[in-house]
Structure 1
Protein backbone atom coordinates (compact mmCIF):
# COMPACT_ATOMS: atom_id res chain seq x y z
CA UNK A 1 0.00 0.00 0.00
CA UNK A 2 1.12 3.54 -0.71
CA UNK A 3 2.87 5.21 2.27
CA UNK A 4 0.69 8.27 1.78
CA UNK A 5 -2.40 6.21 2.53
CA UNK A 6 -1.03 4.34 5.52
CA UNK A 7 -2.55 5.04 8.91
CA UNK A 8 -0.39 4.72 12.02
CA UNK A 9 -3.14 3.17 14.16
CA UNK A 10 -6.51 1.59 13.52
CA UNK A 11 -7.90 3.06 16.76
CA UNK A 12 -6.88 6.12 18.86
CA UNK A 13 -5.33 4.06 21.68
CA UNK A 14 -3.42 6.69 23.72
CA UNK A 15 -6.43 8.43 25.34
CA UNK A 16 -7.91 5.02 26.15
CA UNK A 17 -4.63 3.78 27.63
CA UNK A 18 -4.31 6.81 29.89
CA UNK A 19 -7.96 6.52 30.89
CA UNK A 20 -7.35 2.90 31.87
CA UNK A 21 -4.21 3.91 33.77
CA UNK A 22 -6.19 6.45 35.78
CA UNK A 23 -8.90 3.88 36.48
CA UNK A 24 -6.25 1.38 37.58
CA UNK A 25 -4.69 3.93 39.95
CA UNK A 26 -8.06 4.75 41.49
CA UNK A 27 -8.92 1.09 42.04
CA UNK A 28 -5.44 0.17 43.28
CA UNK A 29 -5.41 3.13 45.64
CA UNK A 30 -8.75 2.06 47.06
CA UNK A 31 -8.12 -1.67 47.43
CA UNK A 32 -4.36 -2.26 47.41
CA UNK A 33 -2.46 -0.50 50.15
CA UNK A 34 1.06 -1.21 48.89
CA UNK A 35 2.04 2.43 49.01
CA UNK A 36 1.62 4.56 52.08
CA UNK A 37 -0.77 7.38 51.42
CA UNK A 38 0.96 10.65 50.79
CA UNK A 39 -0.43 13.61 52.67
CA UNK A 40 -3.38 14.62 50.46
CA UNK A 41 -4.45 18.17 51.03
CA UNK A 42 -0.92 19.35 51.81
CA UNK A 43 -0.46 22.73 50.21
CA UNK A 44 2.89 21.67 48.78
CA UNK A 45 1.42 18.59 47.07
CA UNK A 46 -1.62 20.53 45.90
CA UNK A 47 0.66 23.22 44.49
CA UNK A 48 2.86 20.70 42.70
CA UNK A 49 -0.15 18.81 41.34
CA UNK A 50 -1.88 22.00 40.25
CA UNK A 51 1.23 23.26 38.50
CA UNK A 52 1.67 19.91 36.73
CA UNK A 53 -1.99 19.90 35.59
CA UNK A 54 -1.62 23.46 34.30
CA UNK A 55 1.59 22.54 32.47
CA UNK A 56 -0.03 19.43 30.97
CA UNK A 57 -3.08 21.32 29.73
CA UNK A 58 -1.00 24.16 28.30
CA UNK A 59 1.35 21.69 26.59
CA UNK A 60 -1.55 19.76 25.05
CA UNK A 61 -3.30 22.94 23.89
CA UNK A 62 -0.07 24.28 22.39
CA UNK A 63 0.53 20.98 20.57
CA UNK A 64 -3.04 20.80 19.22
CA UNK A 65 -2.90 24.45 18.12
CA UNK A 66 0.40 23.78 16.36
CA UNK A 67 -0.98 20.73 14.54
CA UNK A 68 -4.08 22.65 13.42
CA UNK A 69 -1.99 25.62 12.25
CA UNK A 70 0.21 23.24 10.25
CA UNK A 71 -2.92 21.71 8.70
CA UNK A 72 -2.35 18.14 9.80
CA UNK A 73 -4.41 15.74 11.86
CA UNK A 74 -4.61 15.78 15.63
CA UNK A 75 -6.06 12.28 15.77
CA UNK A 76 -3.43 9.55 16.31
CA UNK A 77 -5.26 7.03 14.09
CA UNK A 78 -5.22 9.21 10.96
CA UNK A 79 -2.36 9.66 8.54
CA UNK A 80 -0.23 12.79 8.86
CA UNK A 81 -0.35 15.31 6.04
CA UNK A 82 2.74 17.21 7.20
CA UNK A 83 5.75 16.63 9.43
CA UNK A 84 5.41 19.13 12.26
CA UNK A 85 8.69 20.17 13.88
CA UNK A 86 7.77 23.56 15.32
CA UNK A 87 6.04 24.64 18.53
CA UNK A 88 6.27 22.01 21.27
CA UNK A 89 7.38 19.48 18.66
CA UNK A 90 10.80 21.22 18.70
CA UNK A 91 11.34 19.79 22.20
CA UNK A 92 9.43 16.50 22.15
CA UNK A 93 8.21 14.30 19.33
CA UNK A 94 5.18 13.42 21.46
CA UNK A 95 4.12 16.49 23.45
CA UNK A 96 0.47 15.43 23.68
CA UNK A 97 1.38 12.07 25.22
CA UNK A 98 3.86 13.87 27.47
CA UNK A 99 0.98 16.07 28.63
CA UNK A 100 -1.17 12.98 29.32
CA UNK A 101 1.67 11.46 31.36
CA UNK A 102 2.24 14.67 33.28
CA UNK A 103 -1.47 14.99 34.08
CA UNK A 104 -1.71 11.37 35.24
CA UNK A 105 1.26 11.84 37.57
CA UNK A 106 -0.23 15.13 38.81
CA UNK A 107 -3.29 13.27 40.07
CA UNK A 108 -0.92 11.43 42.41
CA UNK A 109 0.02 14.71 44.07
CA UNK A 110 -3.56 15.98 44.11
CA UNK A 111 -5.09 12.84 45.60
CA UNK A 112 -2.19 11.52 47.66
CA UNK A 113 -2.44 8.24 45.75
CA UNK A 114 1.04 7.08 44.74
CA UNK A 115 -0.44 4.52 42.32
CA UNK A 116 -0.89 7.39 39.86
CA UNK A 117 2.89 7.58 39.47
CA UNK A 118 3.03 3.87 38.65
CA UNK A 119 0.08 4.26 36.29
CA UNK A 120 1.67 7.24 34.51
CA UNK A 121 4.90 5.32 33.94
CA UNK A 122 3.04 2.19 32.79
CA UNK A 123 0.84 4.20 30.41
CA UNK A 124 3.90 5.90 28.92
CA UNK A 125 5.62 2.55 28.33
CA UNK A 126 2.52 0.93 26.81
CA UNK A 127 1.84 4.01 24.67
CA UNK A 128 5.40 3.83 23.37
CA UNK A 129 4.97 0.22 22.28
CA UNK A 130 1.37 0.36 21.03
CA UNK A 131 1.14 3.83 19.51
CA UNK A 132 4.39 5.76 19.22
CA UNK A 133 6.38 3.09 17.42
CA UNK A 134 3.59 2.65 14.86
CA UNK A 135 3.28 6.40 14.44
CA UNK A 136 7.03 6.66 13.93
CA UNK A 137 6.96 3.96 11.24
CA UNK A 138 4.14 5.85 9.54
CA UNK A 139 6.08 9.12 9.67
CA UNK A 140 9.25 7.43 8.44
CA UNK A 141 7.40 5.89 5.49
CA UNK A 142 5.66 9.18 4.77
CA UNK A 143 8.50 11.67 5.25
CA UNK A 144 11.69 9.60 5.01
CA UNK A 145 14.97 11.44 5.60
CA UNK A 146 13.19 14.52 6.98
CA UNK A 147 11.71 12.41 9.77
CA UNK A 148 15.06 10.70 10.42
CA UNK A 149 16.76 14.07 10.80
CA UNK A 150 13.96 15.25 13.09
CA UNK A 151 14.44 12.14 15.26
CA UNK A 152 18.17 12.87 15.54
CA UNK A 153 17.62 16.36 16.92
CA UNK A 154 14.41 15.83 18.95
CA UNK A 155 13.85 13.27 21.71
CA UNK A 156 10.85 10.97 21.78
CA UNK A 157 9.63 12.19 25.18
CA UNK A 158 11.86 14.94 26.58
Structure 2
Protein backbone atom coordinates (compact mmCIF):
# COMPACT_ATOMS: atom_id res chain seq x y z
CA UNK A 1 0.00 0.00 0.00
CA UNK A 2 2.30 2.80 -1.25
CA UNK A 3 -0.23 5.43 -0.17
CA UNK A 4 1.03 5.07 3.42
CA UNK A 5 4.73 5.12 2.58
CA UNK A 6 6.47 8.08 4.19
CA UNK A 7 3.14 9.85 4.81
CA UNK A 8 2.61 9.76 8.57
CA UNK A 9 5.32 11.52 10.56
CA UNK A 10 6.82 8.95 12.96
CA UNK A 11 6.18 11.22 15.98
CA UNK A 12 2.46 11.23 15.10
CA UNK A 13 2.57 7.46 14.66
CA UNK A 14 4.12 7.08 18.12
CA UNK A 15 1.37 9.25 19.58
CA UNK A 16 -1.31 7.14 17.85
CA UNK A 17 0.24 3.91 19.11
CA UNK A 18 0.54 5.36 22.63
CA UNK A 19 -3.13 6.35 22.56
CA UNK A 20 -4.11 2.88 21.33
CA UNK A 21 -2.02 1.28 24.08
CA UNK A 22 -3.66 3.44 26.73
CA UNK A 23 -7.16 2.72 25.38
CA UNK A 24 -6.48 -1.02 25.30
CA UNK A 25 -5.22 -0.88 28.88
CA UNK A 26 -8.49 0.79 29.89
CA UNK A 27 -10.63 -1.74 28.03
CA UNK A 28 -8.71 -4.91 28.82
CA UNK A 29 -7.99 -4.61 32.52
CA UNK A 30 -8.04 -8.38 33.31
CA UNK A 31 -4.69 -8.74 31.52
CA UNK A 32 -2.72 -6.85 34.15
CA UNK A 33 0.79 -8.18 34.49
CA UNK A 34 2.22 -8.69 37.97
CA UNK A 35 5.61 -7.02 37.65
CA UNK A 36 7.31 -5.49 40.64
CA UNK A 37 9.21 -2.30 39.93
CA UNK A 38 7.37 -1.78 36.65
CA UNK A 39 7.66 1.97 37.02
CA UNK A 40 11.45 1.69 37.42
CA UNK A 41 11.67 -0.33 34.23
CA UNK A 42 9.34 2.13 32.50
CA UNK A 43 11.45 5.10 33.55
CA UNK A 44 14.67 3.35 32.51
CA UNK A 45 13.26 2.50 29.08
CA UNK A 46 11.88 6.02 28.63
CA UNK A 47 15.18 7.70 29.49
CA UNK A 48 17.09 5.31 27.25
CA UNK A 49 14.59 5.87 24.43
CA UNK A 50 14.88 9.65 24.65
CA UNK A 51 18.68 9.45 24.75
CA UNK A 52 18.90 7.11 21.74
CA UNK A 53 16.49 9.20 19.66
CA UNK A 54 18.24 12.46 20.57
CA UNK A 55 21.65 11.02 19.70
CA UNK A 56 20.22 10.15 16.28
CA UNK A 57 18.88 13.67 15.79
CA UNK A 58 22.17 15.23 16.92
CA UNK A 59 24.14 13.07 14.49
CA UNK A 60 21.89 14.26 11.65
CA UNK A 61 22.28 17.88 12.75
CA UNK A 62 26.08 17.54 12.88
CA UNK A 63 26.03 16.12 9.35
CA UNK A 64 23.76 19.00 8.28
CA UNK A 65 21.15 16.70 6.78
CA UNK A 66 17.38 16.56 7.13
CA UNK A 67 15.72 14.84 10.06
CA UNK A 68 12.34 14.81 8.31
CA UNK A 69 11.85 11.15 7.40
CA UNK A 70 9.04 11.95 4.97
CA UNK A 71 11.51 13.46 2.47
CA UNK A 72 14.48 11.09 2.26
CA UNK A 73 15.38 12.52 -1.13
CA UNK A 74 16.52 15.67 0.74
CA UNK A 75 19.19 13.70 2.56
CA UNK A 76 22.50 15.41 1.90
CA UNK A 77 24.88 12.90 3.48
CA UNK A 78 25.06 9.33 4.68
CA UNK A 79 25.29 9.40 8.48
CA UNK A 80 27.25 6.40 9.77
CA UNK A 81 29.01 7.83 12.83
CA UNK A 82 28.05 8.04 16.47
CA UNK A 83 24.98 6.05 17.35
CA UNK A 84 24.59 5.12 13.68
CA UNK A 85 27.46 2.67 14.15
CA UNK A 86 25.06 0.53 16.22
CA UNK A 87 21.66 1.12 14.64
CA UNK A 88 20.62 2.36 11.21
CA UNK A 89 17.45 3.77 12.79
CA UNK A 90 18.19 5.04 16.30
CA UNK A 91 15.36 7.57 16.23
CA UNK A 92 12.85 4.81 15.54
CA UNK A 93 14.55 2.57 18.08
CA UNK A 94 14.18 5.38 20.62
CA UNK A 95 10.47 5.66 19.76
CA UNK A 96 10.06 1.91 20.24
CA UNK A 97 11.75 2.12 23.64
CA UNK A 98 9.38 4.94 24.62
CA UNK A 99 6.39 2.83 23.63
CA UNK A 100 7.85 -0.11 25.57
CA UNK A 101 8.20 2.21 28.57
CA UNK A 102 4.53 3.11 28.27
CA UNK A 103 3.60 -0.57 28.08
CA UNK A 104 5.63 -1.22 31.25
CA UNK A 105 3.96 1.71 32.97
CA UNK A 106 0.50 0.47 31.98
CA UNK A 107 1.43 -3.12 32.95
CA UNK A 108 -1.08 -4.48 30.51
CA UNK A 109 -0.41 -7.36 28.11
CA UNK A 110 -2.65 -5.79 25.45
CA UNK A 111 -0.43 -2.70 25.42
CA UNK A 112 2.66 -4.88 24.92
CA UNK A 113 0.93 -6.58 21.97
CA UNK A 114 1.05 -3.35 19.97
CA UNK A 115 4.85 -3.11 20.07
CA UNK A 116 5.44 -5.68 17.28
CA UNK A 117 2.79 -3.91 15.18
CA UNK A 118 4.73 -0.66 15.52
CA UNK A 119 7.90 -2.40 14.31
CA UNK A 120 6.07 -4.02 11.38
CA UNK A 121 4.50 -0.73 10.34
CA UNK A 122 7.78 1.16 10.60
CA UNK A 123 9.66 -1.51 8.64
CA UNK A 124 7.12 -1.57 5.81
CA UNK A 125 5.92 2.02 5.45
CA UNK A 126 8.82 4.08 6.75
CA UNK A 127 12.15 2.27 6.79
CA UNK A 128 11.91 0.27 3.55
CA UNK A 129 11.04 3.34 1.43
CA UNK A 130 13.80 5.34 3.15
CA UNK A 131 16.29 2.57 2.43
CA UNK A 132 15.31 2.56 -1.25
CA UNK A 133 16.05 6.29 -1.49
CA UNK A 134 19.33 5.96 0.40
CA UNK A 135 20.43 3.03 -1.73
CA UNK A 136 19.67 4.95 -4.91
CA UNK A 137 21.44 8.07 -3.66
CA UNK A 138 24.51 6.57 -1.96
CA UNK A 139 24.85 3.24 -3.83
CA UNK A 140 27.72 1.01 -2.76
CA UNK A 141 28.51 3.10 0.34
CA UNK A 142 24.98 2.56 1.66
CA UNK A 143 25.02 -1.13 0.75
CA UNK A 144 28.28 -1.60 2.65
CA UNK A 145 26.78 0.22 5.63
CA UNK A 146 23.71 -2.05 5.67
CA UNK A 147 25.98 -5.07 5.79
CA UNK A 148 27.82 -3.69 8.84
CA UNK A 149 24.95 -2.22 10.90
CA UNK A 150 21.59 -3.78 11.68
CA UNK A 151 18.31 -2.03 10.95
CA UNK A 152 17.14 -1.71 14.56
CA UNK A 153 19.88 -2.93 16.90
Q: Same fold (TM over 0.5)?
A: yes
Q: Distance in 1 between matches of 2:87 and 2:78?
A: 13
TM-score, with structure 2 as normaliser:
0.88
List aligned pairs for 1:78-93, cutoff 5 A: 78=71, 79-93=74-88
Q: Secondary structure at the match of 2:67?
A: coil
TM-score, with structure 1 as normaliser:
0.86
Equivalences, count: 147
List aligned pairs for 1:127-146, cutoff 5 A: 127-146=122-141
After TM superposition, what 4+ stretches of structure 1 lie above 6 angstroms from structure 2? Answer: none
Q: Which moved more, 1:89-98 or 1:21-30?
A: 21-30
CA-CA distance at 1:25 after TM superposition: 1.1
Q: Secondary structure at the match of 1:23?
A: helix
CA-CA distance at 1:39 after TM superposition: 4.2
CA-CA distance at 1:113 after TM superposition: 2.4
Cα contact 1:21–1:122 (8 A) shared by 2 = no
- CA RMSD after TM alignment: 1.6
Cα contact 1:13–1:131 (8 A) shared by 2 = no
CA-CA distance at 1:13 after TM superposition: 3.3
Unaligned runs of 5+ in 2: none
Q: Which has the higher helix share?
A: 2
Match of 1:4 in 2: none
